[in-house]
Amino acid sequence: MLLAFDVGNTHITLGAFSGDTLAFETRLASDRKRTGDQYAIELKDMIELNGYTPGDFTGAVISSVVPNLSASLKQAVTRLFGFEPLSVGPGVKSGLNIKIDNPAQLGADMVAGAVAAIAKYSLPCIVYDLGTATTISVLDRTGNFLGGTICAGVGVSLDALTSRTAQLPHISLETPAKVIGTNTVDCMKSGLLCGAAAMVDGMADRIEDELGEKTTLVATGGLAPEVVKSCRRDVILDGSLLLEGLRLIYERNQQ
C-alpha cells in the first residue's frame, strides 16, 4: 500500500492507496512545532484507526508547501515504516510539461493537481485549489501547464476581515441562502463564499478568452464544497484530486 501526504498551511491531507483505490483519507493539523516522533505516533494511530498496520505499507509520497513540516514528516515516515518517502519537487518525474518562466518554482501541490487532472478529465482544463491560498492552474488541450493565478483563500480573507475590523465577528463558513444578506453574519458569508464563487466563474471566463476555447473546470481543497455550491458554471468537485496526482507521480518514479 501507498501513503500520500498533501501538506498545506492549515492541514495535512493523508490518503492511503491499495493499488489504484483510495482506501481511506483523513486530515491532520499542520503544526510546525510538532516533531517527527510526534507525527509518527499520530500517523500510527490514524492508520490503526482505519484498520491497517504500518507493515501494510511499502511506500510514501509527499507534496508540501511548508518546508519545516516536510522534514518532520520525512522523519516520522522513516521512523514508523523504515523507508524514506518520495518528495515531489525538482528532479522528480511527474510527466508534466511545465511552461512557466521557472518550472522549478511551481508548487508541488499544483504539480500533483495538474497531473491528476490530465489523467482524469477532458482538456483544456482549469484546476481550482481552494485552501489557505486559492490557486488556479491552467492546462492546455495537449496537457501543458501554462501558468495560473494565486490569491488569498476564503479562510485567510475571513481572518483578515475579523482581525482588522472592530465589529465583525469570526463566523463559520457555510453557503448563505441568498446573496443579499439581511444581517451581519449572512452578509459576511455571502461576501466570502458567493464572492469566491463569482471569482471562480469570472476567472474561467477570462482564462477561456485568452485560450480561445472552452475548458473543463475542476475544484478541490477544503473549502471547495461550499464555494462550488454558489458557482454558475459547471464545476467538477474532486476532493481527492491531489492525492490521486501524488499516487501517479509515485508510480512514475518506480518504473
Beta strands 216-220 and 236-237, pairing class: parallel
Looking at the DSSP assignment, which residues form a beta bridge with residue 63?
Answer: 6
Tell me the pLDDT tens digit for each residue of 25-80. 999 888 888 899 999 999 999 999 999 999 999 999 999 988 888 899 999 999 99
Residue 220: pLDDT band by 50, 70, 90 thresholds? very high
The answer to whether the peptide bond before residue 85 is cis (omega within 30 degrees of 0) is no
Catalytic-role residue among 6, 109, 129, 238: 109
Looking at the DSSP assignment, which residues form a beta bridge with residue 87?
Answer: 62
User: For cell 518528495, what's the residue?
Assistant: 87
Phi-psi region for residue 103, left (φ > 0), alpha (ψ -120 to 50) or beta? alpha
Tell me the pLDDT tens digit for each residue of 210-219. 999 999 999 9
Residue 229: Cβ within 10 Å count: 14
User: For cell 516536510, what's the residue?
Assistant: 70
Q: Find how far residue 150's CA is from the centre of its chain.
A: 13
Would you give the DSSP letter of residue 146?
Answer: E
What's residue 120's pLDDT? 97
Would you give the DSSP letter of residue 105?
Answer: G
What's residue 98's pLDDT? 96
What would the mean pLDDT of 99-105 be, rounded to a whole number? 94
Q: How far apart are CA 34 and CA 63, in angstroms?
A: 18
Long-range CB contacts for residues 198-204, cutoff 8 Å, separation at least 24: 198/230, 199/134, 199/151, 200/128, 200/227, 200/228, 200/231, 200/233, 200/235, 201/231, 201/232, 201/233, 203/126, 203/136, 203/149, 204/126, 204/233
Residue 142: Cβ within 10 Å count: 9
What would the mean pLDDT of 136-156 be, rounded to a whole number? 95
Sheet strands (E) in the chain: 2-7, 11-18, 21-29, 59-64, 86-87, 97-98, 125-130, 133-139, 144-152, 216-220, 236-237
| CATH 3.30.420.40 segments of the chain | 2-87, 97-245
> Per residue in 163-191, is it b (16+ CB within 10 Å) or e — as a string?
eeeeeeeeeebebbeebebeeeebebbbb
- Out of 2.30.130.10, 3.30.230.70, 3.30.420.40, 3.30.930.10, which CATH number does the structure's domain 2-87 have? 3.30.420.40
Assess contact for 25 and 44: CB atoms under 8 A. no
Q: How far apart are CA 205 and CA 79, in angstroms?
A: 48
Assess contact for 102 and 147: CB atoms under 8 A. no
pTM above 0.85, yes or no: yes
Give catalytic status of residue 129 as yes or no. no
Residue 10: pLDDT band by 50, 70, 90 thresholds? confident
Q: What is the mean pLDDT of the chain?
A: 94
What's residue 118's pLDDT? 98
The tally of CA atoms less than 13 A away on the side-chain side of residue 190 is 11
What's residue 173's pLDDT? 86
Residue range 97-245, CATH number: 3.30.420.40
